[in-house]
Structure formats: structure tokens, C-alpha cells
Amino acid sequence: MNVARDMHVDLAADKDWWRGAVIYQIYPRSFQDSNGDGIGDLAGIVDRLPYVASLGVDAIWISPFFTSPMKDFGYDVSDYRDVDPMFGTLADFDRLIDTAHGLGLKVMIDLVLSHTSDQHPWFVESRSSRDNPKADWYVWADAKPDGTPPNNWLSIFGGPGWEWDAGRLQYYQHNFLTAQPDLNFHNPDVQDALLDVVRFWLERGVDGFRLDTINFYFCDKELRDNPALPPEERNDSIAPAVNPYNYQRHLYDKNRPENLDFLRRLRALMDEYPAIAAVGEVGDAQRGMEIMGEYTRGDDLMQMCYAFEFLAGDPLTADRVSEVLQHFATAAADGWACWAFSNHDVVRHASRWGLDDAAKRMFMSLLMTLRGSVCLYQGEELGLTEADVAFEDLQDPYGIQFWPEFKGRDGCRTPMVWTSEVPNGGFSDGKPWLPVSPQHLPVAVATQENNAFSMLAHYRRMISFRKSHPAITKGTMELNAPEGTVISFFRRDADETFFCAFNMGTEAQDIALPDGEWHMHDGLEFSARIKNDKIHIPAHQAFIAHKI
């Protein structure tokens, strides 16, 4: 391996680089097409990495690019150790690693370990008989005497969580599409095979992993029914409200305590390399925070996790932010969160919460001052809204299943806009796999690049501010009770104290100035001001000051 890919063996590497890091998520299909087929690829990512580095982020997270039949756009893996031809080759990936490291960017890849494609050789062999060497590598179960599935588990994508296989005369479990059978983590051979996959990518030079559906790895060995969930406890943070998946308390199809031992094995493997980090996606609508705490507690589990509290549809008010942060402090006091407002699975937060430009800036500033690490989703820095994708253009099976009440995830996955030129905004010379939104073109990168007052410039300023102050990246956090529509807190370390306040409402608010002498941080373009021992914060504005 060359020098750039050998950086992971540097014993002087910062093992805590991830703590407080800003991670930029790249959805490969929609970032940059390099060959005119309308689908983004690894070579396209390489071409755009200087732009990503210019944002000041610490790392990139690349959504799946592995070999796949693309029933769920790469989250159905048929070969964990290769690149799907539509995205390029392993040599392209090696070049991506080299280029990213040369620009000072860490590279995290999205590992989908809970399930595979039904075209993966493991599943092809497993379903061939009940006595082959991989017969027990997936979750198989006999039908009930009346032929119905073994229990009441449901799929996030709609319908039962079981699919009948006419060859084995058994059902197999699938938490997602029927083409995504769930692996049996109770089998140690399965665990070993997946850890070998992790080692393969570590040896290739990756700096870490985003772990898809980390709490789905194990199911209940006894296959017990999930209990019903009372209507008043249901929410749509994991599945849309029209999906009966929300009607169950998911005690047995995921969230199993056995997962902790596997995560310790995974962490031990990562710790063989000097500076590797993982962020786990915790998909649970009731116990997300508690599971985050369980999975990130101590130094032998995951470094960080994220739940869906800030990815849900509920309006993000001062009271709601306070509730989430207090809940995290209680449920995961020894853990580490990775906060995000948008990703490839949810409506972009600018549309989800109906934000104008001032609110977008305020929300981003809030995100950048929270204790924890941060994930940004491609295009968020441009202020992109959810694209309106016509039914005939839909690609997402989730949206097709529940249209029109739920339109799926295509609206947040449309191509990145690099220039304002029509028709494809600099994304591709061919017809894009999803249409480029006409509403996105006026805010393309090239349009904002040289505008000091653009959304893009604000993101760069706030990322730079965050990275310049250890009190913000790694310091403590002291949360104050909300004052009307204002959420505020102190961030501290041994050298600095910051007071951060955010008016999340549509009317100006005055709050008390904390004791001491304060200086507003220069260059952040906020209009809040100190007046007569009060802080006057206009609607959707922020106040950030350090103690003198």
C-alpha cells in the first residue's frame, strides 16, 4: 500500500479525532457523475473532494458503494469486498482514500451488517437447503401450524417481517425489503465473517464506519411476539405514520442485549488500528436515547451513535431541544452523540420544519455549538429544500409502497447542484437517475461560492468557529431552562467559556445577560446585541459570546 493509505498505521494518530468532529455525508449516486451515465460515482467524488475540504469538515461518510442489485440503492449488499461497477472499481476507491487523506479528510464508509441482498452468495447457499454449511447464517423459522409467519414482526417497508421460501419451506426474516434477508448474529460464524469484512476495509485505509441500523443486528432467539404499542406512544420518527410498524413495541425483533458483546468484538478489532472510529445509527422510536447510551458507554463499545430525535418531523422548538438534550444527559451521560438534522432517509430539515434562510442559519449555528459530533448531509450547506419528485420519476420502493401519503426518500436524494446551468446543474452530462430540482439551481455552489453572505459562507464560518475552540468541540455543556422561544447553554473547557443562545421563534426575545463580562464573537454575522444587561435576540437569530 502507498504512503497515503498507510496513514492508519501512524502510532501518533489522534485516537480522539472523532470527538467533536464534523462529518460530511456523501450519497454517491447523487454527488457527481464522472462518466455521463446519470449516476454519481467514486471518480466524481474524487473530483469534488477539494470542495468538501474547503468546507472545513473533518471527515466524509460515504453511503454504500458495494456490489448490489440496487433494490434499496446499495443497502442490499451482494459483495461486501468490491465496488459496484456503476460506482467504479477498488482502484477508484483507493484513489479516493489517497486524495481525501492528502486533503486532510478522514474517510468513513457505510457498513450494512444487519442484512444482505438475497443475491449475496451467503444467502443463495443458505436458502438452498436446511443442512448446507450456511443454512443457519440467516434467520429462518418454520411456519405456524396454519401456515402463517412464525410471529407478528413487521417490516419497516410495510407488511410482515417474514417472507416464505418455497425451497426450504420456511420463512426468513427481513426488517426491510423482502430482498434484504436478515443475518443470524447468534451464529458465531456470521460474526466472524462480518468482522473479516471490517478488517478488509481497515486494511484498505478507511478511518471509520457509519454502521447502518446498529440496533437491528440481533433478534430474539425465541422469536417472541412484539407487544402492542399504545396509540399515545406512537411516533413517525422511524417509519411514516401510515406504516403499522409504529403499532408495536419492538422488544424482540431488534434492540437485543446480546448485541453489546458483538459490538465489543467490533471495537476490539477497530482498536488494533490506531485512529478508527464508528458512528452507529440507532433506529428506534421509543428507546433511541437509552440505546445510544448503552452503545457508547465506556471505551469498549462504539465511539458515537445517533438517534432520530432531531431527524423526526416534530417542529424543533426551544422546549423540544431542551427535552432532547436533557434526555440524552440522563440516558447517555457517559456516551457521545452524533447530531444531525438531515440525511439520505428523511425529508430535508429546511422543508421538514419550514425554515426560511434566517432560520436555516440559526439552526445550523445551534448544531455547530452542541456537545457531540455532527453530521452534515450533502447540499445542506447550500440551504437545499426537499425536492418535489413526480410519481413517475420515483425510484425509492418505500415511497412507491406508501404513495401519496408518504412520498419516500427520493426528495432528499436528488442530485447535488454545482452550477446554475440547466438542465443538470453540473451533476452529469447524461440524464440523471433522479431529476435535478429546478428550485435548487439558483443556490448552486458556483452561485454561492464568492458571496460572503451566502448560506455556504455561513456554514464555512460556523465550522471554522467550531474547530477553532476546544470548548465547543470537546468541552462540557451546561443547559439552561428555555426562556420563551430561546434555548441557551454554556460551553466550557479549562481555558474558555462560551454562552450560546438561540431564538427559535418568530418574535424577538430579550433574555438576561449572565454574570460576568462577555464579548460577542466577531465574524459570525448575527444581529443579536447586548442592551442594558439584557441580550436582545431577533427572530431566528443567535447570540454567541465568550467570557473575558
Phi and psi (nearest 5°) for 15? -65, -20
Given the residues 212, 290, 294, 381, select the one marked as catalytic.
Answer: 212
Q: Among this protein's residues, is 533 annotated catalytic? A: no
Q: Give how far the C-alpha of residue 543 lies from the chain's centroid of Cα atoms, to the nearest Å.
A: 28
Dist. CA 47–CA 497, nearest whole Å: 40
Burial zone of 330 (CB within 10 Å; 0-12 exposed, 13-18 middle, 19+ buried): exposed
Q: Where are the alpha helices (DSSP H) in 8-83?
A: 42-54
Q: Give how far the C-alpha of residue 197 lies from the chain's centroid of Cα atoms, to the nearest Å.
A: 21
Residue 447 to residues 385, 465, 529, Cα–Cα distance (Å): 16, 23, 31
322's CB contacts (< 8 A; 6+ apart) are 479, 481, 482, 487
Phi and psi (nearest 5°) for 164? -75, 135
Burial zone of 101 (CB within 10 Å; 0-12 exposed, 13-18 middle, 19+ buried): buried
Residue 224: DSSP 8-state: P
Query: Across 179-264, where does the E strand assignment appear?
Result: 208-211
Given the residues 232, 272, 299, 507, select the one marked as catalytic.
Answer: 272
Per-residue cell: 98: 489517497
Dist. CA 519–CA 273, nearest whole Å: 42
Phi and psi (nearest 5°) for 21? -65, 155
Neighbours of 434 (CB within 10 A): 21
CB-based contact 401:176 (threshold 8 Å): no
Q: Give how far the C-alpha of residue 417 lies from the chain's centroid of Cα atoms, to the nearest Å.
A: 21
Q: Among this protein's residues, is 272 annotated catalytic? A: yes
Q: What angle do CA 339, 336, 475 make, to 5 degrees?
A: 90
Best CA proximity match to 164, nearest among 176, 175, 173, 151: 173
Burial zone of 531 (CB within 10 Å; 0-12 exposed, 13-18 middle, 19+ buried): exposed
544's CB contacts (< 8 A; 6+ apart) are 365, 369, 465, 498, 499, 500, 501, 520, 521, 524, 526
Per-residue cell: 235: 411516533
- Residues belonging to the active site: 212, 272
